[in-house]
Structure 1
Amino acid sequence: MKHVIVTTLLIVAVPASAQDFSKYSDAAAAQALAEQATLETIVMVPMRDGVGLATNIYRPRGAKGPLPTILSKTPYNELGNKPSSQRAALKAVSRGYAFIIQNERGRYFSEGKYEILGKPQTDGYDMLTWVAKQPWSNGKVGTLGCSSSAEWQLALAGQNHPAHAAMVPMASGAGIGKVGRFQEQGNWYTGGVPRTLFYVWLYGVDNPLRPQLPGGLDQATRSRIAQYNDLDAKKPEVNWTQQIKHLPVATMLSDLGEPPATFEQFITRTPADPGWTRGGLYHEGMGWGVPALWFNSWYDVSIGPNMELFNHARAANTDREASANQYAVIGPNNHCAFGALKPGFVSGDRALGNPSFDTDAEIFAFFDRFLKSDAKAFPNTTPHVRYYTMGLNAWQSDAAWPPKAARMVRMYLRSGGRANGLNGDGRLLMTAPASGEPADRFTYDPMNPVQTIGGGDCCNGGIVTAGAFDQRVIEARDDVLVYTTDALTEPMEVSGFVDSVLKISSDAKDTDFAVKLVDVAPDGTAYILGDTIVRARYRDGYASPAPMQPGTVYTLKPTPMTTSNRFEKGHRIRVEVTSSNFPKFVRNLNTGGPNESESKGIVAHNVVVHDAGNASYIDLPVVK
């Protein structure tokens, strides 16, 4: 399919019985659900090892014949008839689906020991088998959810269970171990640099001292108990803006009095540790067996791996029907905020027009096709990729990602040796540097790191707000190298994976290099589009860390940024390079030692080289 602007979004037929519940109060939604559904609560579904998982089952009242089922698993407190889960059930039941929501093992009323993603290869598989055997089931199950409720679906898709007919993973990046160019191990890393969001998230979710109900209770008793008790831990509030600075990183949670748990297991792992392959993450060697409708976001924590996995699923061909039926929708919203796609949308400091999209209608059209065999609901002509291009502020569609019309345009980092800050002489040019062009130098002090402002992130206790925020505050720093084009004489659309190559040196044994892509408006506002980072010790691969030698020039290739943005006429394209992006990423203390167990850092004097023999550059996927 050619690269086209979508002037009208895909219109789907919604059954008359599927009402618009968006304006219902919580009480009205609960009443509607009671009228339309039969409910079984805290049903303990047995797994192969005997562990019971707490499950709520909603079925259309008075339904005739076998039902298609939508299954959602969660580590969160959603089984106690919470408004969010009730609304999700109401949407499904009103459209003729059974809806099941289940707590992962070790969470709330589910038995067993908690593990991130809840053993998707076994618990997920066993749950699909259980649903398919129920007398009210038509044998077809679709999985649905955002964030944690999406991530467990990925490894399950590699199992190709016969009942797993379709899946809708939304914002699912933390379920990806290694795929293609990305080896981020569930977003624990970017370019070998640990991200801090999971430290905050694990404090809230991991609860090794959790209370549990005694065994042997009948369902009616468990259900009654759940009406009055939610088994939800009430941990002390933490000032994460301060706690995230704690050194060493490895004792950040124990410093709060937390007992050893998942954090202590993960913080000692390198990106190549074999332990990552023994959990619930999806790795590229697993194959792919389920048609999928992916919902992703430009300002989410993991847009690069998400789109890499989408492409991998399309190419896997371990199940040809599954690979042929992969569809992606990418909006300008933050993590899981697909309901925010409405007129007057603003991301950070940037107004982005009207990205309205009927997410619910699209999801149920997709499920109608694969769970109800309604081919007209979600036709084969549906574009495989629909994405919102910022700047243009319009939905576009294509048969592939990046768009088939995209062609790489290389822009070189250039300067007279003083690209430091906004007042420096850094330029971004299409002409390669000449021999002898002076390098750019800056001092990186880990005790005075460059602050994170916007970009893609989530789930971090408020230490970073994701979105298109103005970067001029940090561009004023001397330890940030700034390279900018002249004002564009015509618009330029950049849609796809953005690659960068840096030629660097340092007097430290190890340090980090961070890269940022920015759209600069005529008034100077510098909107972040994406960022990436790489740890120098991993320049030859995660399995081969090595210290640097002073004066030696090395090649660094950060993992790609991923975006869709039209740089309008009069705008400028900017690339920033520095050595920290904190608190989003853990600071490199520059010692070359076990960074996460160290408390004292050293100052690094870092160099970005750009001459004829050692060009530093960025490759932009330009769509004409």
Structure 2
Amino acid sequence: MKRAGLLLLLTSLVTSDVSAETYSKYAPEILEKMLRDSATIEEKVLVPMRDGVGLSTTIIRPKNATGKLPIIFVRTPYNFQQMKGGELANAVAAVKHGYAYVEQNERGRYYSQGEFELLGHPRTDGYDALTWLAKQEWSNGKVGTLGCSSTAEWQLGLASMKHPAHAAAIPMASGAGIGRVGRFQEQGNWYTGGVPRTLFFVWLYGVDNPLRAQLPQDLDAAMRARVGKYNDLAATKPKVDWTKRIAHLPLTELLTGMGEPPGTYEKLIVRKPNDPAWFKSGLYHDNEDWGVPTLWFNSWYDVSSGPNIELFNNLRARPGIADTQYAVIAPNTHCQFAKLDSNTKIGDRSVGDASFDVEGQVFAWFDRWLKNDKTAFADNTPRVRYFTIGENKWNAATQWPPREAKKLRFYLHSDGKANSLYGDGRLDQKEPAATEASDKFTYDPTVPVQTIGGNDCCNGALTPGGIYDQRVIEARQDVLVYSSEKLTAPLTVTGWVTPVLHVSSDAKDTDFAVKLVDVMPDGTAYIVADTIIRARYRDGYDKEVMMQPGETYRLQLTPNTTSTQFGVGHRIRVEVTSSNFPKFARNLNTGGDNVSESKPVVAHNEVHHSAKTPSFLELDVMP
């Protein structure tokens, strides 16, 4: 996933006259000088693992430090061999606050030895790294793990091991490290509702390198560090036009069809959502232990806000660790916490002043658990701090959803012609009549409904995440659109967004995608949340049940989550269709395995909304 430093903007650096406004103007060589003037740096240290493999590690410690040091530890599959930008900011901030800063490449990446595996063996390599760090003569034996995206996801598997030195964790945007938790079985964001997400298709092309170059194993540390000054072992792969390539069929040949050697992608693309291999990997599952005080950073428009918050709730329900779990949920896309400022934008929508002292919270948390400063992180800090879009302010709660939130259903209605923005689809709280016309549409996988924003990331800008106008796709006849009347009072949805549909199809299997939209008074239709389900998995991921023509089926889609206020004069809108591409891989409607097929069939799909077969959105609404 996308490389992200802890802080791209610092409230201060080593000297008090360097502010957040001026930091971005400093050249990398000046930042490097700041670091080298204030710290001792050991580069390309090979930390030994239990099987003899050495992981390349950079160790940065404050000069003239007295006493033993707590450690901030970052493990990553990304290239930090030539430290710059975010890496320099991380290190300078840590040194400023009296920490050793340690960054390590996962095995099989750059100067680390061994073979790459997604999530980097958190339960073995991560554990062994903590053991080694805790034993160093300059270490106080307490390690805090930190990072966003791929530098966060491995922390979850490690936390299950309850290593005695693992004193605190700050995982940011860590959803791709979650396999199964509660209602979610996304297997590290590979799936949503049993539908493969394409972000890893693109990401793995850039990160996986089965035929990578490596240094001779017998080079000493000094020579490894010297070589690292002019060769970072980074592969430069041919550029790919993903807007075209992502449509290639069959999916099993997406990368090898371009000449790539088989690698991680080919192993994962053939796995079903309940494949036992998912439960033997680096993913964290909800039947495992957890032993680490954790400050979670999540985002409304990230790829996995739902699983992240579900895991937070899961841990908050466990005796013994519940009181050491806190969450921050911000109005940003993937890992863009440094962009929370006085004029924050998420895609095309401004949400006003969303400023948040990320650096202050990070070091307050670490000071509490790594330095035993019980006053650093206040006891009365709210369990959940979250930003409400539309209201454009930070709020706080003791739980998620907030205790005062109530369930409210909005039902889909029409006279049988809800097709497109110009149809007769309606949305309100009235239960449907005994007989009410259903809505029909045709889903052709060769002309799928395109993705415009929403919860996404890390796919080479193929589908940017964030808030964008949906009217282009709402004009299509294969998109059912249901809109409320204009609101006469604000409605604040804070919690889960859970769609329930009654559907039928002439295809053996097809997908149903649902989207919640906030319609501005001028008609702009901003996406709030979206989800999808593959109909064959409606009864669970441990079995596949095909559809029968003429039969009606109840689908409860994987929920999404938000805090959005629909203002006066706004409309609440729901879209229903059968594709959201290229965010989600297309269902070819054959009832086959999809990934090895290349010939789709057209499906004629139907959404029902009578008294016996209602379709609705259930929302958590604040009073």
TM-score range, shorter chain: over 0.9
Identity, % of aligned pairs? Answer: 60
1:316 is displaced (CA, Å) by: 2.7
Question: For residues 97 and 400 of structure 1, what CA distance do their matches in structure 2 show?
Answer: 32
Name the structure 1 match of 2:322.
Answer: 323
1:27 is displaced (CA, Å) by: 2.1
Q: Deviations over 1:364-389 (max 9, x none)?
A: 11101111111111111001101110
Aligned counterparts, 1:118-133, within 5 A:
118-133=120-135
Name the structure 2 match of 1:225.
Answer: 227
1:492 is displaced (CA, Å) by: 0.7
1:14 is displaced (CA, Å) by: 9.2
Is the 2:14–2:92 contact (alpha carbons within 8 Å) kept by the matching residues of 1?
Answer: no
Is the 1:511–1:604 contact (alpha carbons within 8 Å) kept by the matching residues of 2?
Answer: yes
Question: For residues 561 and 154 of structure 1, what CA distance do their matches in structure 2 show?
Answer: 21
Name the structure 2 match of 1:235.
Answer: 237
Question: For residues 435 and 81 of structure 1, what CA distance do their matches in structure 2 show?
Answer: 66
Name the structure 2 match of 1:516.
Answer: 515
Aligned counterparts, 1:175-190, within 5 A:
175-190=177-192
Aligned counterparts, 1:1-80, within 5 A:
20=18, 22=20, 23-24=22-23, 25=26, 26-80=28-82
Question: For residues 262 and 348 of structure 1, what CA distance do their matches in structure 2 show?
Answer: 31
SS at match of 1:301: coil
Structure 2 counterpart of 1:209, which letter? L
Name the structure 2 match of 1:558.
Answer: 557
Name the structure 2 match of 1:349.
Answer: 348
1:62 is displaced (CA, Å) by: 0.8
Structure 1 counterpart of 2:526, which letter? Y
Question: For residues 51 and 15 of structure 2, what CA distance do their matches in structure 1 show?
Answer: 41
Name the structure 2 match of 1:270.
Answer: 272
Is the 2:13–2:93 contact (alpha carbons within 8 Å) kept by the matching residues of 1?
Answer: no
1:489 is displaced (CA, Å) by: 1.0
Aligned counterparts, 1:166-177, within 5 A:
166-177=168-179
Question: For residues 481 and 561 of structure 1, what CA distance do their matches in structure 2 show?
Answer: 20
Q: Deviations over 1:235-273 (max 9, x none)?
A: 000001110010111100011111110000000000000
Question: For residues 526 and 347 of structure 1, what CA distance do their matches in structure 2 show?
Answer: 14
Name the structure 2 match of 1:301.
Answer: 303
Name the structure 2 match of 1:574.
Answer: 573
Structure 2 counterpart of 1:454, which letter? G
Name the structure 2 match of 1:8.
Answer: none
Is the 1:79–1:101 contact (alpha carbons within 8 Å) kept by the matching residues of 2?
Answer: no
Name the structure 1 match of 2:4.
Answer: none
Question: For residues 436 and 252 of structure 1, what CA distance do their matches in structure 2 show?
Answer: 46
Is the 1:492–1:566 contact (alpha carbons within 8 Å) kept by the matching residues of 2?
Answer: yes
Question: For residues 584 and 77 of structure 1, what CA distance do their matches in structure 2 show?
Answer: 26
Structure 1 counterpart of 2:166, which letter? H
Question: For residues 21 and 442 of structure 1, what CA distance do their matches in structure 2 show?
Answer: 56
Name the structure 1 match of 2:544.
Answer: 545
1:618 is displaced (CA, Å) by: 0.7
Is the 2:489–2:567 contact (alpha carbons within 8 Å) kept by the matching residues of 1?
Answer: yes
Question: For residues 258 and 405 of structure 1, what CA distance do their matches in structure 2 show?
Answer: 53
Name the structure 2 match of 1:525.
Answer: 524
Q: TM-score, normalised by structure 1?
A: 0.96
Structure 2 counterpart of 1:609, which letter? H
Name the structure 2 match of 1:390.
Answer: 389
Question: For residues 616 and 607 of structure 1, what CA distance do their matches in structure 2 show?
Answer: 11
Moved more, 339-348 or 179-188: 339-348
Structure 2 counterpart of 1:89, which letter? A
SS at match of 2:179: strand
Is the 2:13–2:92 contact (alpha carbons within 8 Å) kept by the matching residues of 1?
Answer: no
Name the structure 2 match of 1:7.
Answer: none
Aligned counterparts, 1:280-429, within 5 A:
280-317=282-319, 320=320, 322-429=321-428
Q: Deviations over 1:434-481 (max 9, x none)?
A: 111010100000001001001011111111011110000000101000
Name the structure 1 match of 2:448.
Answer: 449
* Among 136, 151, 154, the residue aligned to 2:153: 151
Q: Deviations over 1:80-115 (max 9, x none)?
A: 323321221110011100000000000000000000
Structure 1 counterpart of 2:201, which letter? Y
Name the structure 2 match of 1:138.
Answer: 140
Name the structure 1 match of 2:112.
Answer: 110
SS at match of 1:242: helix
Structure 2 counterpart of 1:616, which letter? S
Aligned counterparts, 1:92-111, within 5 A:
92-111=94-113
1:398–1:346 CA distance, 2 compared to 1 (3 A):
same
Question: For residues 124 and 473 of structure 2, what CA distance do their matches in structure 1 show?
Answer: 47
1:161 aligns with 2:163: yes
Structure 2 counterpart of 1:186, which letter? G
Is the 1:287–1:316 contact (alpha carbons within 8 Å) kept by the matching residues of 2?
Answer: no
1:71 is displaced (CA, Å) by: 0.1
SS at match of 2:518: strand
1:111–1:581 CA distance, 2 compared to 1 (3 A):
same
Name the structure 1 match of 2:477.
Answer: 478
Question: For residues 383 and 524 of structure 2, what CA distance do their matches in structure 1 show?
Answer: 34
What are structure 2's unaligned runs of at least 5 residues? Answer: 1-10
1:202 is displaced (CA, Å) by: 0.1
Is the 2:490–2:567 contact (alpha carbons within 8 Å) kept by the matching residues of 1?
Answer: yes
Is the 1:17–1:95 contact (alpha carbons within 8 Å) kept by the matching residues of 2?
Answer: no
Structure 2 counterpart of 1:107, which letter? R
Question: For residues 348 and 14 of structure 1, what CA distance do their matches in structure 2 show?
Answer: 28
Is the 2:14–2:96 contact (alpha carbons within 8 Å) kept by the matching residues of 1?
Answer: no
Question: For residues 402 and 463 of structure 1, what CA distance do their matches in structure 2 show?
Answer: 32
1:558–1:18 CA distance, 2 compared to 1 (3 A):
farther
Question: For residues 585 and 198 of structure 1, what CA distance do their matches in structure 2 show?
Answer: 11
Question: For residues 501 and 172 of structure 1, what CA distance do their matches in structure 2 show?
Answer: 27
Is the 2:12–2:18 contact (alpha carbons within 8 Å) kept by the matching residues of 1?
Answer: no
Name the structure 2 match of 1:464.
Answer: 463
What is the aligned-residue RMSD (CA, Å)? 1.3
Question: For residues 154 and 347 of structure 2, what CA distance do their matches in structure 1 show?
Answer: 30
Question: For residues 307 and 448 of structure 1, what CA distance do their matches in structure 2 show?
Answer: 34
Name the structure 1 match of 2:251.
Answer: 249
SS at match of 1:516: strand
Q: Deviations over 1:200-242 (max 9, x none)?
A: 0000000011011111211111110111110000100000111
Question: For residues 537 and 544 of structure 1, what CA distance do their matches in structure 2 show?
Answer: 8
Is the 2:432–2:610 contact (alpha carbons within 8 Å) kept by the matching residues of 1?
Answer: yes
SS at match of 1:154: helix
Q: Deviations over 1:118-165 (max 9, x none)?
A: 000011111111111111111110000000000000011111111101
Q: Deviations over 1:266-307 (max 9, x none)?
A: 000000000001110000011211011111111100000010
Structure 1 counterpart of 2:35, which letter? L
Is the 2:14–2:34 contact (alpha carbons within 8 Å) kept by the matching residues of 1?
Answer: no
SS at match of 2:343: coil
SS at match of 1:153: helix
SS at match of 2:287: helix
Structure 1 counterpart of 2:85, which letter? P
SS at match of 1:201: helix
What are structure 1's unaligned runs of at least 5 residues? Answer: 1-12
Is the 2:454–2:527 contact (alpha carbons within 8 Å) kept by the matching residues of 1?
Answer: yes
Question: For residues 380 and 541 of structure 2, what CA distance do their matches in structure 1 show?
Answer: 41
Name the structure 1 match of 2:216.
Answer: 214
Question: For residues 158 and 501 of structure 1, what CA distance do their matches in structure 2 show?
Answer: 34
1:19 is displaced (CA, Å) by: 7.4
Structure 1 counterpart of 2:345, which letter? V
SS at match of 1:283: coil
